[in-house]
């Protein structure tokens, strides 16, 4: 999967477990609404992390860590997945899907006027603390909202 060749040092059971772990994470990404081009970016990121940590590492831990990174706005893998989903070339309905995925990832889809401070903090925790106010993501997000708003008005 994702072009990763089975290392000789890994037995059948470990390789099968790795494939199950990756498949489960891909299904979670699909459930959140990510398109295939974004999921391929997850695969590239995973392959890069596996290469850095060495294939003798615990592959399940690497899969989990990489997936966790997809759930934080502003991480490298999140950005790669976000930008793979071209906002400037998608329809209003596709913009809506992109915004919906962002809402699910951050937990904003569960907020309302009665949300507690802890619930709001949990959403804030889904945003990389190192992101700056002028990060290009914010402009991309604004463009996605604008695309959705203009075409549905």
Averaged over successive runs of 10 residues, the pLDDT of the chain (153 residues) comes to: 73 86 94 93 90 72 93 97 79 88 95 95 96 94 82 55
pLDDT at 34: 95
Q: Are 78 and 29 in contact (CB under 8 A)?
A: no
- Residue at token pair 């945003």: 127
pLDDT at 57: 63
pLDDT at 33: 93
Provide CB contacts within 8 A for 18, sequence distance 6+.
Answer: 10, 59, 60, 63
Domain count, the chain: 2
Instruction: Give domain status of residue 22, yes or no.
Output: yes
Instruction: Give domain status of residue 6, yes or no.
Output: no
pLDDT at 94: 85
DSSP state of 10: S
pLDDT at 4: 73
- For residues 71 and 97, state if they share a domain: no
End of a domain among 53, 78, 103? Answer: 78
**Domain limits for position 46:** 12-78
Instruction: Give domain status of residue 7, yes or no.
Output: no
pLDDT at 152: 56
Instruction: Give domain status of residue 2, yes or no.
Output: no
Q: Under DSSP, is residue 17 helix (H, G, I), strand (E, B) or coil?
A: helix
pLDDT at 59: 79
- For residues 20 and 51, state if they share a domain: yes
Distance CA 116, CA 30 (A): 29
pLDDT at 1: 64
pLDDT at 75: 97
- For residues 115 and 142, state if they share a domain: yes
DSSP letters spanning 97-146: HHHHHHHHHHTGGG--TT--HHHHHHHHTTB-TT--TT-HHHHHHHHHHH
């Amino acid at each position: 999967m994702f072009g990763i060749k089975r290392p000789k040092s890994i037995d059948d059971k470990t390789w099968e477990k790795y494939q199950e772990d990756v498949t489960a994470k891909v299904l979670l990404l699909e459930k959140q609404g990510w398109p295939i081009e974004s999921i391929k970016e997850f695969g590239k990121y995973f392959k890069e992390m596996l290469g850095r940590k060495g294939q003798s590492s615990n592959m399940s831990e690497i899969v989990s860590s990489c997936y966790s990174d997809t759930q934080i706005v502003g991480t490298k893998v999140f950005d790669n997945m976000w930008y793979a989903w071209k906002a400037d070339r998608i329809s209003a309905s596709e913009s809506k899907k992109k915004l919906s995925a962002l809402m699910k990832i951050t937990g904003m889809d569960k907020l309302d006027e009665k949300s507690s401070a802890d619930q709001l903090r949990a959403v804030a925790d889904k945003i990389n603390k190192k992101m700056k106010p002028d990060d290009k993501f914010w402009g991309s997000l604004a463009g996605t909202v604008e695309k959705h708003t203009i075409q549905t008005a």
